[in-house]
RNA sequence: GUCUCAGUAGCUCAGUCGGAUAGAGCAACAGCCUUCUAAGCUGUGGGUCGGGGGUUCGAAUCCCUCCUGAGACGCCA
């Protein structure tokens, strides 16, 4: 309902003792489109007007009966149900889409920089489907923020430091085979780690050995450092293959080890600000005043902890990288940690602490259990992607044997299926991983959306508006001009500015034969309305850091388009009907395209 | 034990800043390809919105309580 809601609210505000903004908030879309396009429930007006909601509704209907915006309004009980002038709304929307008149983007975040912490896998461990969530949710949120004008810093905070590296080093020395590790680094290193943990149960002295090895690494002993560096390198090389496939891009890849030399300064600063206190031999920052447990800064043996490291990282992002806001896309199990982290920043006197947020998400489980790298109880993302791509490949071979870039498309579809499956459900609850569901192509899936996009491209291609293999980022024809020519210039004048709304111009439009209900039949109109919702949904998705809103909206758009495609012949229709249907097809294509881009999914022009 | 999050159709989930008859997809069954891509479209069946109280014109939505599941709760990250 791009802009229309606001215009209608302004008109209603002229008749009621309520502001335009409030009315815009009250206006809703009726549950059944047979009831109308917009509805105003009148319950909340009853008190102030001292009338029954039903009477108020009847009164409002009589006042707006002659509205330029409406073809009709009726009171059904306490609701005012309004039927929009389809020609007016549709022209407005098509023009907005063509000119990106705040339809696909905004400037809300202009001049601001936000750092997004995403993905953050652990070195020497497999990149599981659990890490997928952070990577793709984080990417989608970054895309959304960019569409709002923010500058984004996408930061991959790699887990490359900690006592477990001592264990891996010991394990490598005990049973590692350099050749085998080189051939298959992650899997081999992880199985060494798993084996170490099993042996640790019967040989407790191993733990001390691990700690000692990590101490040598911290002290910069050349042997341990070289081995660690090698492990980091081979792991990153492996992760990068997955990132390439997913299309994930980072502004910076900064491991935990990057902050080793920045820890002392943090401790000093805390100390200088008088925030550190001794407790049970450790140094902590008390957070009693905000009702949180204390934040551990330094262990009793003097070593720092991950909270210290995260503080160093937060300050680095703010001071050095220039981030005004920090967003952490990390699993919900770390809620408390981030609350503490932000609270400490606040106590340190940093105003940007209020601009920090933790975007939490549920765990990915298998058989109802948490995935565990230690037990080797994990699904490798690479395996899931491979499976999805291979299924896509065989469907393409069967349905589109002539496709020239079949392999490229298979990748886009397979990866798109996996990403969309995760993004459409961005709730906090845990996700039970099921291969068949993750790589499904039917129903509410990524491939369904991609298929619909390709269908729209195909129509436009056959109309001579798109070149083979292409899906242009902008309108492929200047629809508003075409429409204006066919629907008289007055339509255009009205559509381009709500200020120019007046009865005369609209009367002229309504007498124009080029545009009537037969042209904008129910199915076409339903599609137009769904497409028009995109701008509002995009805004909300960005503000709430919730990509699933985009996924759900694009599914509704696809469903409306596929019905339209089925019921309304496009290429074989004539005159203004054909023009309008092509315009709707192009608007749909652009909106699906933008949605897929925001979600970080490919949009092939042909499947 | 304390705190946080979740509980909606057989399955996976929307709807949760209170609004009209609680919606999709999958699975099942029945239809639709001489016509723009059938990865599609149409239809049928399927519900104590975890239980119980309360708040009001109105509750899946807000409050209280109980049940169930998951997670967090100081020297791991």
pLDDT at A517: 58
Q: Which of residues 467-496 of A touch strand B (CB under 7 A)?
A: none
What integer best gives the mean pLDDT of chain A? Answer: 89
pLDDT at A513: 40
Q: What percent of chain A has pLDDT over 70?
A: 92
The 8-class DSSP code of residue A316 comes to I
Whether the per-residue pLDDT at A505 is higher than 50: the answer is no
pLDDT at A515: 54
Q: Which of A110-114, A168-172, A364-368 has the highest mean pLDDT?
A: A110-114
Whether the per-residue pLDDT at A512 is higher than 90: the answer is no
For the stretch A284-332, pLDDT in tens is 999 999 989 999 999 998 889 999 999 999 999 999 999 999 999 999 9
For the stretch A26-52, pLDDT in tens is 999 998 888 999 999 999 898 888 889
Point out the nucleotide closest to A569 (alpha carbon to C1′): B36
User: Which region among A41-50, A153-162, A505-514 has the lowest average model confidence (pLDDT)?
Assistant: A505-514
A586 pLDDT band, cuts 50/70/90, is very high
pLDDT at A208: 87
Strand order in the sheet with A295-298: A276-279, A282-285, A295-298
Residue A14 tokens, joined: 């002229």
* Phi, psi dihedral angles at A176 (to 5 degrees): -80, 145
What is the torsional sign of CA A232, A234, A236, A242?
negative
Residue A28 tokens, joined: 């809703």
Instruction: Work out if A162's Cβ lies within 7 angstroms of strand B.
Output: yes
Q: Whole-number Å distance, CA A175 to C1' B77?
A: 25
Q: Which of residues 335-364 of A touch strand B (CB under 7 A)?
A: 335-337, 362-363
Whether the per-residue pLDDT at A496 is higher than 70: the answer is no
Whether the per-residue pLDDT at A502 is higher than 80: the answer is no
pLDDT at A484: 60
Return the number of other C-beta atoms located less than 10 Å from residue A372's C-beta.
Answer: 12
pLDDT at A91: 86
Instruction: Work out if A399's Cβ lies within 7 angstroms of strand B.
Output: yes
A68 pLDDT band, cuts 50/70/90, is confident
Residue A63 tokens, joined: 């006042």
The residue written with tokens 């037969």 in the block is A518
Point out the nucleotide closest to A398 (alpha carbon to C1′): B39
Task: Tell me if A118 sits within 8 A of A125, measured CB to CB.
Answer: no
Whether the per-residue pLDDT at A485 is higher than 60: the answer is no
Instruction: Work out if A431's Cβ lies within 7 angstroms of strand B.
Output: yes
Instruction: Work out if A32's Cβ lies within 7 angstroms of strand B.
Output: yes
Return the number of other C-beta atoms located less than 10 Å from residue A131's C-beta.
Answer: 22
**Which residues is A285 bridged to in the sheet?**
A276, A295
A426 pLDDT band, cuts 50/70/90, is confident
Point out the nucleotide closest to A564 (alpha carbon to C1′): B41
Contacts of A191 (CB under 8 A, 6+ apart): A376
Instruction: Work out if A280's Cβ lies within 7 angstroms of strand B.
Output: yes
Instruction: Work out if A570's Cβ lies within 7 angstroms of strand B.
Output: yes
User: How large is the average pLDDT for residues A493-513?
Assistant: 40
Instruction: Work out if A441's Cβ lies within 7 angstroms of strand B.
Output: yes
Q: Whole-number Å distance, CA A332 to C1' B71?
A: 8
pTM above 0.90, yes or no: yes
Q: Which of A85-89, A227-231, A448-452 has the highest mean pLDDT?
A: A448-452
Q: How far is CA A2 from CA A8, A57, A127, A430, A553, in A?
A: 11, 24, 41, 34, 14
Looking at this predicted complex, what is its ipTM? Answer: 0.95
User: How large is the average pLDDT for residues A585-597?
Assistant: 97
For the stretch A513-534, pLDDT in tens is 445 556 788 999 999 999 999 9
């Amino acid at each position: 309902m791009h802009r229309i809601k606001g215009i209608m609210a302004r008109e209603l505000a002229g008749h009621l003792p309520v502001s335009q903004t409030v009315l815009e908030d009250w206006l809703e879309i009726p549950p059944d489109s047979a009831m109308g396009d917009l509805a105003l429930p009148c319950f909340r007006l009853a008190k102030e007007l001292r009338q029954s909601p039903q009477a108020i509704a009847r009164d409002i209907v009589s006042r707006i009966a002659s509205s330029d915006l409406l073809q009709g309004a009726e009171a059904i009980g306490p609701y005012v149900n309004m039927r929009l002038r389809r020609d007016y709304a549709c022209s407005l929307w098509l023009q907005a889409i063509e000119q990106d008149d705040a339809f696909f983007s905004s400037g809300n975040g202009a001049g601001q920089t936000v750092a997004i912490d995403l993905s953050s896998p652990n070195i020497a461990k497999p990149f599981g489907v659990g890490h997928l969530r952070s990577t793709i949710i984080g990417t989608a949120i970054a895309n959304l923020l960019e569409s709002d004008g923010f500058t984004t810093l996408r930061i991959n905070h790699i887990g490359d430091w900690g006592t477990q590296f001592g264990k891996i080093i010991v394990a490598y020395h005990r049973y590692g085979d350099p050749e085998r590790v080189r051939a298959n680094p992650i899997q081999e290193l992880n199985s060494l780690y798993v084996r170490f943990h099993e042996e640790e149960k019967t040989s407790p002295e191993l733990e001390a050995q691990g700690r000692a090895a990590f101490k040598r690494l911290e002290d910069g002993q050349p042997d341990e450092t070289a081995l660690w560096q090698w492990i980091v390198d081979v792991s990153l090389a492996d992760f990068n293959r997955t990132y390439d496939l997913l299309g994930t891009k980072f502004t910076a890849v900064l491991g935990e080890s990057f902050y080793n030399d920045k820890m002392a300064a943090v401790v000093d600063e805390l100390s200088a600000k008088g925030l550190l206190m001794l407790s049970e031999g450790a140094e902590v920052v008390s957070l009693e005043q905000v009702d949180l447990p204390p934040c551990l800064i330094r262990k009793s043996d003097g070593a720092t902890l991950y909270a210290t490291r995260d503080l160093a990282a937060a300050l680095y992002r703010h001071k050095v990288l220039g981030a005004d806001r920090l967003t952490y896309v990390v699993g919900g199990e770390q809620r408390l940690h981030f609350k503490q982290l932000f609270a400490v920043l606040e106590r340190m006197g940093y105003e940007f602490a209020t601009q920090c947020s933790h975007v939490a998400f549920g765990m990915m489980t298998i058989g109802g259990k948490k995935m565990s790298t230690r037990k080797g109880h994990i699904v490798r993302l690479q395996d899931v992607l491979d499976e999805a791509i291979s299924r896509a490949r065989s469907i393409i071979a069967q349905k589109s044997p002539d496709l020239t870039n079949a392999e490229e498309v298979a990748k886009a579809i397979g990866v798109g299926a996996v990403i969309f499956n995760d993004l459409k459900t961005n709730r906090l609850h845990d996700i039970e991983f099921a291969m068949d569901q993750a790589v499904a192509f039917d129903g509410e899936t990524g491939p369904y959306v991609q298929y619909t996009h390709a269908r729209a491209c195909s129509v436009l291609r056959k109309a001579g508006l798109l070149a083979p293999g292409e899906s242009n980022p902008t309108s492929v024809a200047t629809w508003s001009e075409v429409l204006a020519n066919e629907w008289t210039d007055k339509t255009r004048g009205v559509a381009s500015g709500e200020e120019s709304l007046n009865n005369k111009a609209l009367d002229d439009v309504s007498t124009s034969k080029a545009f009537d209900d037969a042209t904008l039949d129910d199915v076409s109109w339903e599609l137009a309305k769904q497409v028009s919702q995109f701008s509002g949904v995009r805004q909300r998705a960005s503000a709430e850091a919730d990509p699933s809103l985009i996924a759900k909206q694009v599914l509704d758009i696809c469903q409306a388009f596929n019905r339209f495609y089925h019921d309304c012949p496009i290429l074989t229709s004539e005159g203004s009907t054909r023009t309008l249907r092509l315009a709707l097809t192009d608007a749909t294509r652009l909106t699906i395209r933008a949605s897929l881009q925001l979600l970080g999914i490919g949009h092939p022009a042909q499947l």
